[in-house]
């Protein structure tokens, strides 16, 4: 399905839910340790324990709304269960200024409505929509601590690309299935205006850009698509680049036309 949209055979209605689905539906097909390493290393604030097995991954479950601000049900975006703890992921469309404190409180309350008998530690990950990248104290729910973690889509994409490159360096066909999954996830990010961009060969890590680069859409695949997409330069004033970088950027853009 990702190729259908990526090759412009159909138009994707790019929203928060489609970005969440294309990303985590892909990640869930990876070996559990690889999936967990990508998620764990993407965190900006907080940390997750190491795990070797992921028991279940659920999307948009309906939980009891008792004691919350909602009258029907509570619907977390992603819910991950492992043996020793559970993880709620609340995803937002963009990287900044969308998370809701009341929504977090409602989801944590609803979790304990349905899963309190399991007596497991809960982690709550804010993915995107961050108002800041400051550490937060653990959230207390009836004397039960919930660990608050933060990341954004750009950091998650960076983690995916880093793990892809690590697999690629091994030069083993054994890992081709995992690499193909990661390639499709990277394409999904591009469809939602999150791009990877390698500027110079001596860069150790690719830089990640989201929708603030609407004036310059650049897609360079990692052993996947070699297609480069360049759109008219718009909103240039929104971009802050030094002169040397700017010159190299437009030189490179011109050479690919």
Average pLDDT over residues 170-186: 95
Residues 75-102 have pLDDT tens digits of: 999 999 999 999 999 999 999 999 999 9
pLDDT at 15: 77
Q: What is the rounded CA–CA span in Å between residue 222 and residue 245?
A: 22
pLDDT at 20: 96
The model carries a pTM of: 0.76
Residues 52-70 have pLDDT tens digits of: 999 999 999 999 999 999 9
In 3D, which of 65, 77, 60 has the Cα closest to residue 124? 77
In 3D, which of 247, 137, 160, 132 has the Cα closest to residue 199? 247
Residues 2-53 have pLDDT tens digits of: 666 566 665 666 678 899 999 999 999 999 999 999 999 999 999 999 999 9
CA distances from 243 to 233, 247, 249 (A): 17, 6, 10
């Amino acid at each position: 399905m990702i190729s259908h949209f990526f090759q412009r055979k159909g138009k994707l209605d790019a929203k928060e839910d489609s970005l969440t689905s294309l990303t985590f539906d892909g990640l869930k097909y990876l070996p559990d340790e690889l999936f967990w390493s990508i998620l764990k290393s993407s965190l900006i604030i907080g940390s997750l324990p190491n795990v070797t097995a992921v028991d279940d991954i659920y999307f948009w479950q309906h939980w009891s709304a008792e004691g919350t601000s909602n009258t029907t049900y509570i619907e977390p975006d992603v819910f991950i269960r492992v043996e020793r703890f559970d993880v709620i992921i609340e995803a937002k469309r963009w990287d900044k200024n969308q998370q809701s404190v009341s929504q977090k409180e409602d989801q944590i309350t609803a979790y304990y409505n349905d899963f309190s008998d399991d007596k497991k530690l809960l982690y709550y990950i804010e993915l995107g929509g961050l108002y800041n990248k400051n550490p937060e104290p653990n959230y207390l729910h009836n004397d039960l601590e919930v660990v608050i973690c933060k990341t954004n889509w750009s950091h998650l994409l960076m983690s995916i690309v880093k793990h892809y490159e690590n697999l690629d360096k091994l030069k083993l066909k054994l890992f081709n299935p995992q690499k193909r999954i990661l390639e499709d996830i990277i394409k999904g990010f591009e469809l939602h205006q999150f791009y990877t961009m390698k500027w110079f060969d001596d860069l150790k890590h690719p830089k990640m850009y989201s929708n603030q680069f609407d004036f310059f859409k650049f897609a360079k695949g990692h052993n996947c698509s070699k297609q480069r997409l360049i759109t008219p330069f718009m909103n240039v004033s929104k971009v802050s680049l030094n002169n040397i970088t700017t010159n190299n950027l437009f030189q490179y853009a011109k050479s690919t036309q």
